A and B are shown apart, each in its own frame.
Chain A
Amino acid sequence: MKLAYWMYAGPAHIGTLRIATSFRKVHAIMHAPLGDDYFNVMRSMLERKRDFTPVTASVVDRHVLARGSQEKVIQNIKRKDKEEQPDLVLLTPTCTSSILQEDLQNFVNRASQDSKADVLLADVNHYRVNELQAADRTLEQVIKFYLEKAEKDNSIFSKKTEKPSVNILGPCNLGFHVHHDIAELKRLFKDLSITINTIIPEGASIDELKKLPQAWFNIVPYREVGLLSAQHLEKNYDMPFISTAPIGIVETANFIRQIQTLLKQLGQNVNFEKYIDLQTRFVSQSAWFSRSIDCQNLAGKTAVVFGDATHTVAITKILSQEMGVRVLVAGTYCKPEEIWFRKEISKYCEDILITDDHNLVGDIIAKLEPSAIFGTQMERHIGKRLNIPCGVISAPVHIQNFPLSYRPFMGYEGSNQIADLIYNSFTLGMEDHLLEIFGGHDTKDISSSTLSNENIWEIEAENELKRIPGFVRGKIKRNVEKFAKINNLNKITLDVMHACKEAGNMQ
Chain B
Amino acid sequence: MNIEQGSLINSNSITFECETGNYHTFCPISCVAWLYQKIEDSFFLVIGTKTCGYFLQNALGVMIFAEPRYAMAELEEADISAHLNDYMELKRLCTLIKKDRNPSVIFWIGTCTTEIIKMDLEGIAPKLENELGVPIIVARANGLDYAFTQGEDTVLAALAQTFGKKSTTSDNGTKSENTPNLVIFGSVPNSVVYELGNELKTYGIEIKGWLPAKRYTEFPILNEKDFVCGVNPYLSRTATTLMRRRKCQLIGSPFPIGPDGTKAWIEKICSVFNKPTPGLNDREEKAWKNLESYLKLLRGKSVFFMGDNLLEISLARFFIKCGMSVYEIGIPYLDKRYQGGELALLEKTCKEMGTFLPVIVEKPDNYNQLNRIKDLHPDLVITGMAHANPLEARGINTKWSVEFTFSQIHGFTNAKNILELISKPLQRQTTFKELGWKNYHTLV
Binding site for B on A (CB under 8 A): 1-7, 10-11, 13-14, 32-42, 44-45, 48-53, 56-62, 65, 76, 83, 94-96, 98-100, 126-128, 130, 377-378, 381, 385, 396, 464, 467, 494-495, 498, 501-502, 504
Chain B 304-317 against A: per-residue CB contact (8 Å), 1 yes, 0 no?
00000000000000
* B79 & A1 in contact (Cβ 8 Å cutoff): yes
* B389 & A1 in contact (Cβ 8 Å cutoff): no
Q: Jot down 17 A-B pairs with beta carbons below 8 A, ordered by A.
A: A1-B84, A4-B72, A5-B68, A11-B54, A34-B144, A35-B27, A35-B28, A36-B27, A36-B55, A50-B441, A52-B390, A60-B112, A60-B144, A62-B145, A96-B113, A381-B65, A498-B198
Main secondary structure on B side of the interface with A? helix
Given the known A-B contacts A2-B73, A94-B51, are A41 and B143 also in contact in the complex, defined by CB atoms under 8 Å?
Answer: no
| Chain B residues whose C-beta falls within 8 Å of the C-beta of A36 in the assembled complex | 27, 51, 55, 112, 143
**B24 CB-CB contact with A under 8 Å:** yes
Stretch from B88-96, B157-165, B341-349, B424-432 contacting the other chain: B88-96
Question: Which 8 A-B residue pairs are closest in the complex by CB-CB distance?
Answer: A35-B27, A33-B143, A38-B59, A50-B393, A40-B386, A11-B50, A1-B89, A34-B143
**B375 CB-CB contact with A under 8 Å:** no
* B112 & A96 in contact (Cβ 8 Å cutoff): yes
| Cβ contact of B75, chosen from A1, A34, A35, A48, cutoff 8 A | A1
**B137 CB-CB contact with A under 8 Å:** no
**B328 vs chain A, min Cβ distance (A):** 18
**A88 vs chain B, min Cβ distance (A):** 19
Given the known A-B contacts A45-B389, A83-B367, A498-B191, are A13 and B51 also in contact in the complex, defined by CB atoms under 8 Å?
Answer: yes
Q: A2-B76, A57-B24 are in contact. List 14 more A-B contacts (CB 8 A).
A: A5-B64, A6-B65, A11-B51, A13-B51, A35-B25, A38-B59, A39-B59, A41-B384, A49-B390, A95-B51, A127-B80, A381-B63, A381-B66, A498-B413
* B74 & A2 in contact (Cβ 8 Å cutoff): yes
Chain B 368-383 against A: per-residue CB contact (8 Å), 1 yes, 0 no?
0010000000000000
How far apart sit A502 and B199, CA to CA, in the bound complex (Å)? 13
| Chain A residues whose C-beta falls within 8 Å of the C-beta of B198 in the assembled complex | 495, 498
How far apart sit A279 and B8, CA to CA, in the bound complex (Å)? 69
How far apart sit A219 and B129, CA to CA, in the bound complex (Å)? 56
* A95 & B113 in contact (Cβ 8 Å cutoff): yes
How far apart sit A494 and B198, CA to CA, in the bound complex (Å)? 11
| Chain B residues whose C-beta falls within 8 Å of the C-beta of A32 in the assembled complex | 143
Given the known A-B contacts A96-B112, A467-B190, are A34 and B386 also in contact in the complex, defined by CB atoms under 8 Å?
Answer: no
Q: Which A-chain residue is minimally distant from B290 (CB atoms)?
A: A504
* B143 & A35 in contact (Cβ 8 Å cutoff): yes
Chain B 30-61 against A: per-residue CB contact (8 Å), 1 yes, 0 no?
10000000000000000101110111011110
How far apart sit A6 and B143, CA to CA, in the bound complex (Å)? 21
* B71 & A5 in contact (Cβ 8 Å cutoff): yes
How far apart sit A51 and B97, CA to CA, in the bound complex (Å)? 43
Q: Which A-chain residue is minimally distant from B97 (CB atoms)?
A: A3
* A11 & B49 in contact (Cβ 8 Å cutoff): yes
**A94 vs chain B, min Cβ distance (A):** 7
How far apart sit A318 and B89, CA to CA, in the bound complex (Å)? 44
How far apart sit A35 and B57, CA to CA, in the bound complex (Å)? 14
**B416 CB-CB contact with A under 8 Å:** yes
| Chain A residues whose C-beta falls within 8 Å of the C-beta of B112 in the assembled complex | 33, 36, 60, 95-96
* B441 & A51 in contact (Cβ 8 Å cutoff): yes
* A44 & B385 in contact (Cβ 8 Å cutoff): yes
How far apart sit A5 and B36, CA to CA, in the bound complex (Å)? 14
* A494 & B73 in contact (Cβ 8 Å cutoff): no
* B116 & A96 in contact (Cβ 8 Å cutoff): yes
Q: Number of residue pairs across A and B with beta carbons under 8 Å?
A: 185
| Chain A residues whose C-beta falls within 8 Å of the C-beta of B413 in the assembled complex | 498, 501-502
| Chain A residues whose C-beta falls within 8 Å of the C-beta of B53 in the assembled complex | 4, 7
| Chain B residues whose C-beta falls within 8 Å of the C-beta of A76 in the assembled complex | 22
**B115 vs chain A, min Cβ distance (A):** 8
* B27 & A34 in contact (Cβ 8 Å cutoff): yes
* A61 & B145 in contact (Cβ 8 Å cutoff): yes
Q: Which A-chain residue is minimally distant from B54 (CB atoms)?
A: A10
How far apart sit A32 and B142, CA to CA, in the bound complex (Å)? 12
How far apart sit A502 and B287, CA to CA, in the bound complex (Å)? 9
**A240 vs chain B, min Cβ distance (A):** 36
**A358 vs chain B, min Cβ distance (A):** 9
Q: Which B-chain residue is minimally distant from A381 (CB atoms)?
A: B65
**B237 CB-CB contact with A under 8 Å:** no
* A35 & B26 in contact (Cβ 8 Å cutoff): yes
**B439 vs chain A, min Cβ distance (A):** 10
**B388 CB-CB contact with A under 8 Å:** yes
**A502 vs chain B, min Cβ distance (A):** 5
| Chain B residues whose C-beta falls within 8 Å of the C-beta of A37 in the assembled complex | 24, 386
**A16 vs chain B, min Cβ distance (A):** 12
| Chain B residues whose C-beta falls within 8 Å of the C-beta of A53 in the assembled complex | 386
How far apart sit A501 and B22, CA to CA, in the bound complex (Å)? 42
**A282 vs chain B, min Cβ distance (A):** 39
| Chain A residues whose C-beta falls within 8 Å of the C-beta of B54 in the assembled complex | 7, 10-11, 14
| Chain B residues whose C-beta falls within 8 Å of the C-beta of A11 in the assembled complex | 49-51, 54
**B354 CB-CB contact with A under 8 Å:** no
Chain B 127-153 against A: per-residue CB contact (8 Å), 1 yes, 0 no?
000000000000000111111100000
**B100 vs chain A, min Cβ distance (A):** 9
* B22 & A59 in contact (Cβ 8 Å cutoff): yes
How far apart sit A60 and B440, CA to CA, in the bound complex (Å)? 35
How far apart sit A248 and B191, CA to CA, in the bound complex (Å)? 53
* A41 & B27 in contact (Cβ 8 Å cutoff): no
| Chain B residues whose C-beta falls within 8 Å of the C-beta of A56 in the assembled complex | 22
**B330 vs chain A, min Cβ distance (A):** 14
| Chain B residues whose C-beta falls within 8 Å of the C-beta of A98 in the assembled complex | 80
Q: Which B-chain residue is minimally distant from A50 (CB atoms)?
A: B393
**B77 CB-CB contact with A under 8 Å:** yes
How far apart sit A44 and B388, CA to CA, in the bound complex (Å)? 8
**B415 vs chain A, min Cβ distance (A):** 11
* B416 & A35 in contact (Cβ 8 Å cutoff): no
Given the known A-B contacts A3-B93, A10-B50, A11-B49, are A42 and B59 also in contact in the complex, defined by CB atoms under 8 Å?
Answer: yes
Q: Which B-chain residue is minimally distant from A100 (CB atoms)?
A: B116
| Chain B residues whose C-beta falls within 8 Å of the C-beta of A50 in the assembled complex | 389-390, 393, 440-441
